[in-house]
Copies of this chain bind each other. A is one copy, B any other.
Amino acid sequence: MSKPYVIGIDIGGTNTVFGIVDARGHVVASDSIKTLKNADFDDYVSRLKEGVSRLISANDAEEKIQGIGIGAPNANYYTGEILNPPNLPWGPVIPVAEKISNAFNGIPVAITNDANAAALGEMTYGAARGMRDFIMITLGTGVGSGIVVNGQLVYGHDGFAGELGHVIVKRNNGRICGCGRTGCLEAYCSATGVARTAREFLELRTDSSELRNFPIDEITSKDVYDAAMSGDKVAKEIFEYTGTILGQAFADMVAFSSPQAIILFGGLAKSGDLLLKPLTEALNKSVMPVFRGKTKVILSELRESDAAVLGASALGWEAKYRADNPPASPKASLPVEVHQE
């Protein structure tokens, strides 16, 4: 066999992007289909298979594909299922890994949520190469996270661990969050959180701001960024507020897993020092003395256009590895088998 490849598939609410990726993290070729065209999952899989197969043929990769990795919302690594996805029409429990593996002649398939895939991508090809302990934070419409401990993704006992966008940063009178609770990190430090902060600041304060030129309900985090970059004081304070909350939340994450780095990905992460400066200050001020200055806050090294496919593809290598090395018994890590009396 010549150069091995994997397939990375990112199932989004609108588009499904897929690509062929080599072991060095080059996206050899990629394409996409509309996710929602088919309300029936089997029809979707047929169409996906068609698209992926076309890509494989066009790149003479028939014999080279080692595995398929899939990133999708609410995906469960252990069961291979997507559960109650908020923006997908295929039913409450979708056996994605099984169906796609069957469609591709039994090739190993693994699936996880988008943020976990991003963490794997970063560890395999990006800023976390060689790191055994880090946390990936995706700052997009929401706040996602993928946690790596001892070189392994943290899935938890049920496959749903790593919901750091939903730690509580405001215990009382916090903002309503999409998860049904209040005060979550995501309600403050996502792109939509920044826009909410803008509305709150503009309503509660009277000082002038460029942001007052926008209809208040239409302000986006991008508008706040642009205003801050042009020197607007209120806009800058919005980023300070956001970065401070994020840094304080990071301090608690450090107390948990003491990561070598926290890696930021997504639209908001591109705000540069506007966000990073208050974030780092708050982290250093808030973190336990024993951890002070130890955890780096860095940006993803993956190109945004490639990241979803790369992240998913990293899981493709793992699917192959898992198929070749079936997991040992749960007690395998214990030197002595201990029996209950």
Contacts and interface: CB of A to CB of B under 8 A. Distances in A.
Interface of A: 4, 23-25, 123-125, 129-134, 147, 149-152, 154-164, 166-171, 179-181, 248, 251-253, 255-260, 286, 288-291, 294, 317-318, 320-321, 324, 330-341
A175 to B, nearest CB: 15
A256 B149 CA distance: 12
Contacts of A162: 256-258
B334 A317 contact: yes
A96 to B, nearest CB: 17
A311 to B, nearest CB: 14
B335 A167 contact: no
Contacts of A317: 334-336
A134 to B, nearest CB: 8
A331 B339 CA distance: 33
A183 B330 CA distance: 38
Q: Binding site of A, secondary structure by majority: helix, strand, loop or mixed? A: loop
A324 B335 CA distance: 10
A181 B149 contact: no
A336 B134 CA distance: 20
Question: Number of copies of this chain in the oligomer?
Answer: 2
Contacts of A248: 168, 171
A333 B161 contact: no
Nearest to A294: B158
Nearest to A123: B334
A158 to B, nearest CB: 6
Contacts of A260: 157
Nearest to A168: B252
A331 B123 CA distance: 10
Contacts of A336: 4, 23, 124, 317
Most buried by B among A125, A170, A181, A336: A336
A-B interface, 8 closest residue pairs, ranked by CB to CB distance from nearest: A156-B258, A321-B335, A161-B258, A157-B260, A317-B335, A133-B157, A163-B255, A167-B252
Contacts of A4: 336
A169 B168 CA distance: 9
